[in-house]
Amino acid sequence: MSNSTQTLDTIDFAGKRAFVRVDFNVPLKDGVIGDDTRIRAALPTLEFILNGGGSVIAATHLGRPKGQVVEELRVAPVAAHLQKLLDGKAEVISAPAVRGSEVNRLAANLKPGQILLLENLRFEAGETKNDPALAHDLAQLANVFVQDAFGTCHRAHASTAGVPALLKPAVAGRLLQREMEAFELAFGDAKRPLVAVIGGAKVSDKILVLQRLIEKVDTILVGGGMAYTFLKAQGGRIGCSLCEEDRLETARQIMADAKAKGVDLLLPVDHVAADAFSATANILICEGDLEDGWMGLDIGPKTQQLFSDRLKQAATVVWNGPMGVFELQPFSAGTSKIALVLAESDCISVVGGGDSVAAIVKNGLQDRISHISTGGGAFLEMLEGKELPGIAALK
């Protein structure tokens, strides 16, 4: 945690109304929540405030209504589910709007132990534009700001940057605190060897990440589609695998920078290849070059072993991005292998990114990973070394 960022423990919430930016952007279909992980993740913060004698004005976005009221994206089902999870510990009141006279009345009449959940923030066009008027209307509802939506901290929106600029004190909630502490463990005074596992489709998506990691880590393991741009940049034949032709020189520079810094950058030595992008395609395991007509869709068994050996030697591991086309069963083994090795290790493990987290969850390994990030884009930007607007606003 940055010394200039306060936490819940610095505030006496007795008699106070806390505006808590939460991330309840959950999968919702026909009023049924498909996965309530994000709601559960906010409970420690909400319960701390309520147990301290405070009340909560919770604010979230849901889906992408783009400034319009979309009936299917109302937060009423979320409010009902939150009430169920609290199991009688607090009363949840669903606000009819994001702002306005009725919202002001409900906020003013909140009693300790009550939660007012505002309507979908993105029903207001000014939310994503960081509209000062919207930020003012939200800020005047409470007397403390709590940021607990790490997944939105990389966006300078009205509720993430505008409100904390006006409403002080502004502090980090438990979820955000855990995210910041995990990054401090990984990049502050990390236990070494420090290994980064980076996957995904494109080098262009991870250039800044790789450049920063070269300054921080001992080893970088590169998998996923992006590995084939590196392999071709080395002069290898990659068949019809994914490749960013305009990033070949970038890949060469990254490899040269890693070598100059004494960082081992390891690429796949074998591949699970297919003759089509399909779960029913013909498949072969091949080492070295790929022939025309074949595409690499996962790391092969020798690469899995190579990467596993490095991970078993690591004291700290940061992982972002899949090793192959994880959503197709024949090409998920490499990603699952990384997840299993991390779970079996006693290293400090910090994991973020949709498919990386999905591999952890799919294999039931959640409780064996040191930290699983709740933010996709925010996690990536933290890896890039950027200061996130939602965090900067707390200082």
Q: Which residue has the tokens 């305009």?
A: 246
Kindly name the residue from 52, 63, 236, 354 that is annotated as catalytic.
Answer: 354
Helix (H) or strand (E) holding 177: helix 174-187
Going by C-alpha positions, the residue among 40, 13, 23 that lies closest to residue 145 is 13
| Cβ-proximal residues to 39 (8 Å cutoff; 6+ apart), any chain | 24, 26, 33, 78, 81, 82, 85
Contacts for 247 with CB less than 8 Å, ≥ 6 apart:
202, 203, 204, 207, 229
Catalytic-labelled residue, pool 236, 376, 377, 385 = 377
Whole-number Cα distances in Å, 363 to 78, 192, 338, 343, 356: 27, 27, 11, 10, 11
CB neighbour class for 9 (10 Å; exposed up to 12, middle 13-18, buried from 19): exposed
DSSP lists the bridge partners of residue 7 as: 172
Which of 202, 212, 216, 362 does the annotation list as catalytic?
Answer: 202
Non-local CB neighbours of 200 within 8 Å, separated by 6+ positions: 206, 224, 225, 226, 320, 321, 322, 353
Annotated catalytic residue: which of 38, 74, 174, 247? 38
Active site residue 202: yes
- Using DSSP, state whether 93 is helix, strand or coil: strand
Angle at 99 between CA 95 and CA 102, to 5 degrees: 60
283 phi, psi to nearest 5 deg:
-125, 145
User: Residues 246-249: contacts with CB within 8 Å, 24+ apart?
Assistant: 247/202, 247/203, 247/204, 247/207
Whether 354 is catalytic is yes
Strand order in the sheet with 295-299: 283-287, 270-274, 295-299
Catalytic residues: 38, 202, 354, 377
